[in-house]
Copies of this chain bind each other. A is one copy, B any other.
């Protein structure tokens, strides 16, 4: 059978407060088209159907309509799990009624151990879970890490394997590395790949790039469209796994409105704006050194028919506005690294040895007080 693997739809998501309703419907329609052209036999959504656990009424309606379209009107079997962005309870409403129409929606760990069998394949649908969920389910508080929990979960699933069927896992987490008791690769939250080695194919959600993991059997499908400036030029789409041939192919979805990253001087970008489709998104990378008064308003005027996402200074000077695309994960920096970067951005020179020493003293005292 031919199984379409999708994930991370994030219906209801906004980019800088711009709603993506048209964009998400368009991507959905392309997905439908691919399903039909490629004659798929089932469609998987590997978590994060919604962008937020508490979605708006409009968004709830949109998801309900999309599922009805695929399942009730086009008669595709649907295999869906909840991701960390979904509310398991809210996404799970009505799921007891859905299975009769081959809409298999699993939102609780306890539901993951009864596989869905379609044609030649056993589908194990594992919703987003935490080690704590696994501790409760197995009555075993030694399951401290995602790796420990997954080893236990997949061993339990394996007991259900029928020898004449393909075994397919759908899950939503950060998979990485080769360590079984990994605290090194990806930290405690990463699921080591060997815990999933018994499956013929693993369809993952959570990471937004289809190339986040380069493994023959374990793959992310990525999102249906780019959600960040960094992902502006990433190929987005869906995967199709063929259980007969064992092949896994990627099928691109073109964004209705692209994220255009424009690099240049402020003067050039304002005076000679490139011709861009209406409603496209724009992210600026300015080469200017000087502060620019009223920068954002001027950019918004020059690009009034597009939607401005962010402005970044290429040469290290911090942007003049709130909408900055942070390319560094600030969570991972030490306080001193943060200060270094901030000082350099503002003053265009590093901290002196004396400044650094004073700062370190202040930090030490603050940390002492916290204890």
Chain A residues packing against B (C-beta within 8 Å): 54, 57-58, 60-61, 64, 68, 71-72, 87, 89-90, 92-98, 100-101, 103
Complex: chain B residue closest to A101, CB-CB: B97
Q: A96: shortest Cβ distance to chain B, in Å? A: 5
Query: When chains A and B are docked, how far (Å) is the Cα of A57 from the Cα of B107?
Result: 13
Q: Which residues of B contact A103 (CB under 8 A)?
A: 97
Q: Quick check: A57 and B94 within 8 Å, CB to CB? A: no
Q: Quick check: B101 and A89 within 8 Å, CB to CB? A: no
Number of copies: 2
Q: A82: shortest Cβ distance to chain B, in Å? A: 12
Complex: chain B residue closest to A92, CB-CB: B64
Q: A31: shortest Cβ distance to chain B, in Å? A: 20
Query: When chains A and B are docked, how far (Å) is the Cα of A370 from the Cα of B273?
Result: 47
Name the one of B57, B58, B60, B100 contacting A101, with C-beta atoms under 8 angstroms: B100
Q: Which residues of B contact A71 (CB under 8 A)?
A: 97
Q: Quick check: A57 and B96 within 8 Å, CB to CB? A: no
Given contacts A54-B54, A57-B87, A97-B103, 12 further A-B contacts (CB under 8 A): A58-B89, A64-B94, A64-B96, A68-B96, A68-B97, A72-B96, A93-B93, A94-B98, A97-B100, A97-B101, A100-B100, A100-B101
Complex: chain B residue closest to A59, CB-CB: B89
Q: Which residues of B contact A57 (CB under 8 A)?
A: 87, 89-90
Q: A87: shortest Cβ distance to chain B, in Å? A: 6
Q: A98: shortest Cβ distance to chain B, in Å? A: 5
Q: Which residues of B contact A58 (CB under 8 A)?
A: 89
Q: Which residues of B contact A96 (CB under 8 A)?
A: 64, 68, 72
Complex: chain B residue closest to A94, CB-CB: B94
Q: Quick check: A60 and B93 within 8 Å, CB to CB? A: yes
Q: Which residues of B contact A100 (CB under 8 A)?
A: 97, 100-101
Query: When chains A and B are docked, how far (Å) is the Cα of A260 from the Cα of B58?
Result: 43
Complex: chain B residue closest to A55, CB-CB: B90
Which of A64, A93, A97, A101 gathers most chain B CB within 10 Å? A97
Query: When chains A and B are docked, how far (Å) is the Cα of A87 from the Cα of B68?
Result: 19
Q: Which residues of B contact A61 (CB under 8 A)?
A: 89, 92
Complex: chain B residue closest to A88, CB-CB: B57
Q: A314: shortest Cβ distance to chain B, in Å? A: 44
Query: When chains A and B are docked, how far (Å) is the Cα of A97 from the Cα of B97?
Result: 6
Q: A118: shortest Cβ distance to chain B, in Å? A: 18
Complex: chain B residue closest to A64, CB-CB: B93
Query: When chains A and B are docked, how far (Å) is the Cα of A100 from the Cα of B102?
Result: 13
Q: Which residues of B contact A64 (CB under 8 A)?
A: 92-94, 96
Q: Which residues of B contact A98 (CB under 8 A)?
A: 94, 97
Contact sample, A vs B, 11 pairs, CB 8 Å cutoff: A54-B54, A57-B87, A57-B90, A60-B89, A60-B93, A64-B92, A72-B96, A72-B97, A93-B93, A94-B94, A97-B97
Which 8 pairs show the lowest CB-CB distances between chains A and B? Answer: A94-B94, A57-B89, A97-B97, A68-B96, A93-B93, A61-B89, A60-B89, A97-B98
Q: Which residues of B contact A54 (CB under 8 A)?
A: 54
Complex: chain B residue closest to A103, CB-CB: B97
Q: A287: shortest Cβ distance to chain B, in Å? A: 47
Q: Which residues of B contact A92 (CB under 8 A)?
A: 61, 64
Which of A68, A96, A100, A103 gathers most chain B CB within 10 Å? A96
Query: When chains A and B are docked, how far (Å) is the Cα of A89 from the Cα of B58?
Result: 8
Query: When chains A and B are docked, how far (Å) is the Cα of A220 from the Cα of B93?
Result: 28
Query: When chains A and B are docked, how far (Å) is the Cα of A7 from the Cα of B72?
Result: 30
